[in-house]
């Protein structure tokens, strides 16, 4: 898809999807955001492990395992495993969007955004944001209706995510509701497909 291989320039984004974002002019300019290649799976899994191992809240195993579980599930969408590549050819960031059922249904309409990883040496340069924006654009073009993410409202709020309750969605027991966010990719995207968000479809999250 066109956007996946685009140089990180605002010019390549169609007007129809440009509206979602405020214009951003900071960060690494010479960077490519594109779909991950099959031969890059191991590099990406190692990146995910290293990035999360460096945080206060994870040892990295869970997120790496999640990537592997998603890849081997029916929810995997290869085009939406997206990497950021530096001008020297290094993979410095990754996001994964995968199909996600609500109350066990509608998995072809909804996506889960997880995990999101940026190499610590390249954080706070707009790379995470640019990968998410690109991924949402691609997902919209592919016909998905909405996206779920669990994470900081401060961060995900910057790319248009809101609390899941705004869309009539509910959280399975044990999921902290304040950190459960959602975004419609089209107007009223969640209407008629509302349901419960339950991550126990994955062994590593159950």
Ligand X SMILES: CC(C)(COP(=O)(O)OP(=O)(O)OC[C@H]1O[C@@H](n2cnc3c(N)ncnc32)[C@H](O)[C@@H]1OP(=O)(O)O)[C@@H](O)C(=O)NCCC(=O)NCCS
Query: For binding to ligand X (CB under 6 A), which residues are involved?
Result: 51-52, 55, 116-118, 123-129, 151-152, 154-155, 158
Contact 32, 8 (CB under 8 A): yes
Residue number, 54 or 143, with CB nearest to ligand X: 54
Residue number, 112 or 185, with CB nearest to ligand X: 112
Q: Closest distance between ligand X and the C-beta of residue 7, in Å?
A: 17
Q: Closest distance between ligand X and the C-beta of residue 4, in Å?
A: 18
Contact 182, 92 (CB under 8 A): no
d(CA 146, CA 64): 24
Chain centroid, CA 100 distance in Å = 12
Residue number, 100 or 106, with CB nearest to ligand X: 100
Q: Closest distance between ligand X and the C-beta of residue 172, in Å?
A: 18
Residue number, 4 or 149, with CB nearest to ligand X: 149
Nearest one of 72, 65, 140, 146 to 109, comparing CA atoms: 146
Q: Closest distance between ligand X and the C-beta of residue 130, in Å?
A: 7
Residue number, 152 or 186, with CB nearest to ligand X: 152
Q: Closest distance between ligand X and the C-beta of residue 153, in Å?
A: 9
d(CA 57, CA 52): 8
d(CA 177, CA 172): 9
Strands of 55-129 (E only): list them. 81-85, 91-99, 110-118
C-alpha distances (whole Å) from 70 to each of 85, 142, 187 are 22, 19, 28
Residue whose Cβ sits closest to ligand X:
128
């Amino acid at each position: 898809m066109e956007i996946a291989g685009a140089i990180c320039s605002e010019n390549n984004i169609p007007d129809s999807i440009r509206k979602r974002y405020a214009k951003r002019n900071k960060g690494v300019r010479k960077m490519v955001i594109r779909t991950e290649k099959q031969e890059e799976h191991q590099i990406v899994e190692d990146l995910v492990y290293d990035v999360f191992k460096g945080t206060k809240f994870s040892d990295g195993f869970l997120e790496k395992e999640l990537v592997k579980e998603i890849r081997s599930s029916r929810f995997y969408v290869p085009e939406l495993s997206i990497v950021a590549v530096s001008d020297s050819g290094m993979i410095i960031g990754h996001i994964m969007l995968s199909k996600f059922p609500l109350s066990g249904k509608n998995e072809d309409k909804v996506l889960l955004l997880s995990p999101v990883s940026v190499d610590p040496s390249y954080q706070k340069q707009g790379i995470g944001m640019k990968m998410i924006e690109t991924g949402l654009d691609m997902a919209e073009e592919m016909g998905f209706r909405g996206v779920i993410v669990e994470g900081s409202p401060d961060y995900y709020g910057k790319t248009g995510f809101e609390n899941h309750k705004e869309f009539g969605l509910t959280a399975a027991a044990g999921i902290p509701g304040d950190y459960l966010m959602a975004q419609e990719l089209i107007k009223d995207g969640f209407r008629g497909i509302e349901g419960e968000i339950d991550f126990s479809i994955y062994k590593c999250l159950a």
